[in-house]
Structure 1
Amino acid sequence: MRHAHLRTSKLKMPLITITGYPCCGKSHRATQLASYLKDRITATPNSKLTVELISDDTLNLSRDVYGDVRVREKDARAALLSAVKRSLSTTAIIILDSGNYIKGYRYQLFCEAKALRTPSCVLHVGAREDVCRSRNEARISSTDEKAYEEAVFDNLIARYEEPNGMARWDAPLFIVVDEDENVPGEQIWNALEGTVVKSHAATVITPAKEGNYLHELDRGTTEIVSRIQEWQKDHPEGGGSVSIEGIDDAVELPMGLVSVGTLQRIRRQFVSLNRVHSLEKSRVRALFVDYLNDSFHGS
């Protein structure tokens, strides 16, 4: 196998997040991608890059954890995230093979990669629901430990938040479907190699050391939600740009009114994501404006 000259100095510690329905073939595609990347590295003289695959299986996470959303599944996601953080290095390409079906979780992974100034991308393994269900039923019949209980399978399908390439945390987005013989390995390599990573207020992660940080996190986000509600009272037609005092960027509202419930849901997601991995207090409001704009226009 011959490849063009590879500018490996630009390809540093990328994170590739794989997502898709349960039983869609994520692990098969992860193995294909790992094999492709290893071949590219082998063909590159003096390359020190390695490929590491992190998955439910490598961490010995059983499918049963997804039957307990509040505790065991939450702990499983935390374990996967911790493994990614430990493995990110100047010479490792990390492939995360798991459901990664929650938009907020993919955003968190994106933040971890961006904070280390490394490129990242998402590979969506597309498969029809009926095909995935048939595969899971076959696993149940053969008592395969990788099978999901029917109720758990249904719940994961219902809660799946499909990636959208317009959202920063899902971009660049690559898609592979059942009919594709191989993963788009070359496109993924080229995208990661050519990405120039810049830190951003939304992704520069620091420990939560400042006093009253959680108070500022709650107060700052609440004030912005209130400001949006006030704007919408005066602009019943919906849409528009809402300026926030002290913040350069405005909140760009979508067409139509945004419900209070939607605003509060986005605020709760943001607060939850940033309780531990926090910004300086002075950046909380700017980050929340950025998160709102991504939520409105990236999904």
Structure 2
Amino acid sequence: MKKYFQSTIYIIFVIVTFLALAKSFMVYANPFDIYENPLVWIALIGFVLVVVLKEMVNVIAINKATELRNEKLGIVPEESNAWIKKLLKSWTRSKDIDSEQEIILEHNYDGIQELDNTLPPWWVYMFYASIVFAIVYLVRFEVLDGDNQIVEYNKAVAEAKAALKEYKSNAPATDFITAENVTLLTDAKDLGRGKAIFKLNCASCHIADGGGAIGPNLTDEFWILGGGIKNVFSTISNGGRDGKGMIAWNKTLKADDMAKVASYVLSLQGTTPANPKAAEGDKWVAEGTEVKEVPLETEIE
């Protein structure tokens, strides 16, 4: 019974961890950035360790069962690591303990005697390789006047700029969305994607219906850092107020995903949340009107 319970827990852990990792890869722009997404690395390392340790336990158990069976039947297995010993001996050329008497030097130091072993082949080959490398280095940089580090750096920067220019000319426009060129999205598919990302990353502070909790209410006309698609996108990308606002999501979410979240947030305008938080900030009026912002205190009066 215990064996089946452990197997069930192991299978559930593997499935849940795999699904969580797959979800993070789809949502986050840089899931492998350890500074922005440390939990992804923790989950990945934990997943690998559990799988590896489980397989190691299985191998140990099988080997132990085999040993017990051979011991019961009186079978003496052949030494399995004989080839390793042979390989080590060929790469060290050391004498066996039984033959060390042949290479003991006559002098000793306070009873400590020295063996006259030959140098290991791997050490000799590395020494010769270092000589060859030094000759090649000398000829390339001193005789043939090869590129130094500064020249190589400038070439690498020029190649990177050319590659970036080519990438920008061929990449989709969604990869270069900024607060200056972002536009309001109204397609149901885009808003659906924005809603999914909002529930995964934003609902903990703003509530799923946008009514606000730690974060402000997103359904009224009042905004702390300005309303409209450009301001909302900029707030999501760069974060809220220093010290007490939300984090910047530009290292976690893709630009087009931030545009979809911003569009979804604006689609919540005028809705009625279950428990709306009191208004914060200033009333936002779209551009083109005579008054753009009205203080909250004036509006209440």
If each structure's helix is expressed as a fraction of its own residues, which one has the higher value? 2
- Per the normalisation by structure 1, the TM-score is 0.18
Structure (1 or 2) with the larger CA radius of gyration:
2
If each structure's strand is expressed as a fraction of its own residues, which one has the higher value? 1
- Per the normalisation by structure 2, the TM-score is 0.18
Q: Which has the higher contact order (CA 8 A, sep 6+)?
A: 1
